[in-house]
Structure 1
Amino acid sequence: MTTARHLETIDLLRSRAFPTEFGPSDVGTEGPGFHMAELNGHFGDGADGDGEGDGDIDATAEREQRVAEHDDLLDRLTDRWGEPDLFSLAGTQLRDAAEEDLPEPWLRLSRLMGWLHLWRAEGRWIAVGRTKSQLLAVVTETDPP
């Protein structure tokens, strides 16, 4: 998927009403107050892109591609909304480990990654993050914890 398509997906999510129930969507998952898009289509497939085994070269190339897509998307979103906040999810992870009740999508994101880039635009939060095998975008009305 190209950066232009990633931007189209984010714009689509920004324009959608939030659902009242958790469930799958055409681009990922959603729930009360949020939409989460799996921009590269690898969400939940069990692939972690760790580069082990016979696929070392393919895994490395895929990881490099993911980093390039992530960086290009960040540049384009920064052009739109200015410099993002680099938001650490470490505190959310600690609170989750202590079994504190945390809002979605922040709980879900903290279980996937340690940090993300975050913008506030037109009354909604837009977050972009990358794991070893996933490029994710989230649009939410729920403030970060």
Structure 2
Amino acid sequence: MDIARHIALIDELCFRPFPAGLGHHLVVLSGSHGLRGGGEPAERAVAVDQYEKERDAVDALLAERWGESEILSLLTVLLRTERAGEIPEPWAELSARARVAYLWEVAGTGRWVALAVADRDAADEVRLLAAVTREAPP
């Protein structure tokens, strides 16, 4: 767990230009190895717990800087936008991979930052994700 490295990368993404044609960055801060294909349920649970603790440590430091995070239910986003139409990125990918996101609107940048533990797909690795986007959450 390298919280300082995670914070530095998030800081950089708040000011780095977006790739051509995209209005967001989506990065893996940390990820498991060997859980693709399901793995043992106990191992997966340990990995999820580890990345949730890592997310919470990053959240605590960012909260000192930007205020308390808003917790966004990505499952609700997925359900709401299924009825209303297409989900904008990076929210579509986050909704498909994670259950909740910790969210800040970063003053003076026009950007949103989201942290999420991607654990919805039991056939994939568990990951701690960070998204930085111009697109407000749906």
- Establish whether TM, by shorter chain, passes 0.5: yes
The verdict on how the C-alpha distance between 1:17 and 1:130 changes in structure 2, with shifts beyond 3 A counting, is same
Kept after mapping to 2: 8 A contact 1:49/1:63: no
Cα-Cα RMSD = 2.5
1:47 aligns with 2:36: yes
Q: CA deviation at 1:51?
A: 3.6
Q: CA deviation at 1:60?
A: 4.6
Q: CA deviation at 1:7?
A: 0.4
Q: CA deviation at 1:84?
A: 1.0
1:109 aligns with 2:97: no
Residues 97-128 of structure 1: per-residue CA shift (max 9 Å, x gap):
44822211111111111211110113210111
Gaps of 5+ in 1: 22-31
Aligned partner of 1:142 in structure 2 is 135
Aligned partner of 2:27 in structure 1 is 37
1:6 aligns with 2:2: no
Q: What fraction of aligned residue pairs are identical, expressed as a percent? A: 35
- Structure-to-structure mapping, 1:82-121, within 5 angstroms: 82-95=67-80, 97-98=82-83, 100-121=85-106
Residues 8-54 of structure 1: per-residue CA shift (max 9 Å, x gap):
11011112111223xxxxxxxxxx110011001459x86377643xx
Aligned partner of 1:24 in structure 2 is none
1: CA distance, partners of 2:37 / 2:63: 28
Scaled by the length of structure 2, what TM-score is found? 0.80
The verdict on how the C-alpha distance between 1:48 and 1:39 changes in structure 2, with shifts beyond 3 A counting, is farther
Kept after mapping to 1: 8 A contact 2:94/2:118: no
Gaps of 5+ in 2: 120-125
Residues 65-95 of structure 1: per-residue CA shift (max 9 Å, x gap):
2122111111001011001111112333124
| 4+ long deviations beyond 2 Å | 45-52, 58-65, 95-99
Aligned partner of 1:27 in structure 2 is none
Scaled by the length of structure 1, what TM-score is found? 0.76
1: CA distance, partners of 2:103 / 2:37: 23
Q: CA deviation at 1:143?
A: 1.2
